[in-house]
Amino acid sequence: MSAAWRYFTISDKEARIAICKTCSADISRGGVTSKTFSTSGLLHHLKSKHPDQYTEYDEITSAQKKKVLPSTPTPSVADLFEKIKKFPSDGPKAKGITRKLMECIAMDDQPFSVVQDVGFRRLIEHIEPRYSLPSRRHLADVCLPELYNVVANHIHELLATDITAISFTTDIWSSDVSITSMLSLTAQWINKDFKLQKILLHSQEFRGSHTAQSISLTFANMFDTWHIDRPKVHAIVSDNAINMTKAIEECNLSGIRCMAHTLQLAVNEGVLAQRSVKDLLAISRKIVGHFKHSQLAYSRIEPIQDELGVTTKRFQQDVSTRWNSTYY
């Protein structure tokens, strides 16, 4: 907008007329439509009738003309090439990003194949186009062992210098998608700053029969791997399985039965074993099974839940080894 309008306003009655703010004179805008309006007549009036204001106007317009946008230097060919040049895979920048990528995969339980996902590749390309993603094989064969060694060395240092007494929890388990048995060993202790520390030392495949002797030998190997000083071991918490409790005894260590598992056994024998409760649970499980295997049935029950004003939920089966899942 022209600086002339600092001294004029448009008439409310006629758009073709401008009113001088100094003397209230009506000045024609020199046209019939907005496309033909100009400020020539306004400036002539300002120059002839109000020279001081015109001088001010002239200074303002001169200052505006002197304002020049700062020039942007034209990048050289070398600069442009540097922006698209890929980092060497063995360079510090690429290694640093790959290290963080491996940490992300490990901490968030992501598959190595994430580096093949289109969306992920686009994200990395947008964030840092000079970085080349490693292959999933490189991550598995090179990056993971390197990260494991770094973490393992740190844990060895903690176990050697930060502990006066230590306890463990252990369990033999299998996942819902595999029949492979796993033996886990988790360490807990209070450090010198009186903070609880917890580290999963092992979660490894357990082959062969689950005898007390086999479990005991596995425990011994685990303790040797981490240089666990036996006199510092306070106790090992496990379930009530005979083979597990006997294995702990064979290691000459103190065992504590898991309270949650003990409560599970007590509820099973004291409540869930009652005939009336068992019959009720059998009927309930059949009902849940029907709705879980029939989309039509669920689509019919959902409007009924809405009509009754209850939260719409899908039915869930209880887990036999979790008494509270049956209770709730």
Rounded-to-integer distance, Cα 116 and Cα 109, Å: 16
Kindly state whether residue 313 falls inside one of the protein's structural domains.
yes
- Examine the fold and report which residue of 224, 257, 290 is the final residue of a domain before the chain moves on: 257
| Strands of the 182-190 sheet, one edge to the other | 196-205, 182-190, 166-173, 233-238, 255-257
Q: Tell me how many domains the chain contains.
A: 4
Which domain, by its residues, includes 35? 3-66
Statement to judge: residues 144 and 182 lie in one domain: no
CATH number of the domain where residue 248 is located:
3.30.420.40
Structural domain ending residue among the three candidates 128, 154, 180: 154
Band (pLDDT 50/70/90 cuts) for residue 167 is very high
Please work out, in degrees rounded to the nearest 5, the angle formed at the alpha carbon of residue 115 by the alpha carbons of 112 and 117: 110
DSSP state of 199: E
What's the pLDDT score for residue 315? 85
Question: Does residue 39 share a domain with residue 21?
Answer: yes
Same domain, 252 and 200: yes
What pLDDT is attached to residue 309? 86
Question: 215 near 243, Cβ under 8 Å?
Answer: yes
Within a domain: 187? yes
pLDDT tens, position by position, 212-231: 999 999 999 999 999 998 89
pLDDT tens, position by position, 26-73: 888 877 777 778 888 888 888 888 888 888 888 888 877 766 555 566
Mean pLDDT for the stretch of residues 21-25: 87
Cα 219 to Cα 251: distance, rounded to the nearest angstrom? 8
What is the model's pLDDT at position 80? 60
Statement to judge: residues 51 and 85 lie in one domain: no
Domain stops at, among 40, 66, 92: 66
- Regarding whether 300 and 235 lie in a shared domain, the answer is no
For residue 43, tell me if it sits in a domain: yes
Confidence of residue 302 (pLDDT cuts 50, 70, 90): confident
| 132 within 8 A of 86, measured Cβ to Cβ | yes
pLDDT category at 114 given cuts 50, 70, 90 is very high
- Quick: pLDDT tens for 235-294: 999 999 999 999 999 999 999 999 988 898 898 888 888 899 889 999 999 999 998 888
* Residue 207, phi then psi, degrees to nearest 5: -95, 155
pLDDT surpasses 70 at 120: yes
> Is residue 263, in this structure, part of any structural domain at all?
no
Inside any domain, residue 159: no
Decide if pLDDT at 110 tops 90: yes
What global pTM score does this model have?
A: 0.62
The pLDDT tens digits for 179-213 are 889 999 999 999 888 999 999 999 999 988 999 99
Q: 104 and 125: one domain?
A: yes
Residue 131, domain member (yes or no): yes
